[in-house]
Amino acid sequence: MILSLYIVNKAGGLIYQRDFNEGLNRMSSNDYLILAGTFHSIHAITSRISPTGHSDGLELLEAETFKLHCFQTVTGTKFLLVTDPVHHNVESALKRIYDMYSDYVMKNPFYTPEMPIRLELFDTHLLRAIRTL
């Protein structure tokens, strides 16, 4: 089950956050921003401490009640997907999400890159895709 999605821009700013299930614990919007920034920093550290050559950094954070998957595009945008601990097929889900981001966010001429995403088309398509996954 996919629980929520975060999109973090290349400077570590949270530009999108959405839950896909009712009744999930919410934090304050400020806490979400802090979480994104902190994750961004940790990701940067993990990509530098690899003892065996180049690393793309943190990809999976595992906890008892959830897993947090991180996919960083070559351009530096991060997609963080929170799922329940047994969810699989995350890779294809992230790929679908990246497709939709490139279509409904980046191709929208009125969207300013790196800024918060408030786009209805993206929301609708994302929701539809998540339901069918």
Contact residues for another protein, defined by CB under 8 A: 10-12, 40-41, 44, 73-77, 95, 98-99, 101-103, 106-107, 113
Identify the CA nearest to 69 among candidates 55, 83, 56, 50: 83
Secondary structure (3-state) at 51: coil
Cβ-based nearer residue to another protein, 66 or 129: 129
Report, in Å, the least distance between residue 43 CB and another protein. 10
Q: How many residues does the chain have?
A: 133
Cβ-based nearer residue to another protein, 2 or 94: 94
Report, in Å, the least distance between residue 114 CB and another protein. 10
Report, in Å, the least distance between residue 87 CB and another protein. 21
Cβ–Cβ under 8 Å, residues 42 and 58: yes
Report, in Å, the least distance between residue 8 CB and another protein. 11
Cβ–Cβ under 8 Å, residues 12 and 27: no
The dihedrals phi and psi of 109, each to the nearest 5 degrees, come to -65, -20
- The DSSP secondary-structure symbol of 112 reads P
Cβ-based nearer residue to another protein, 9 or 83: 9
Cβ-based nearer residue to another protein, 59 or 99: 99
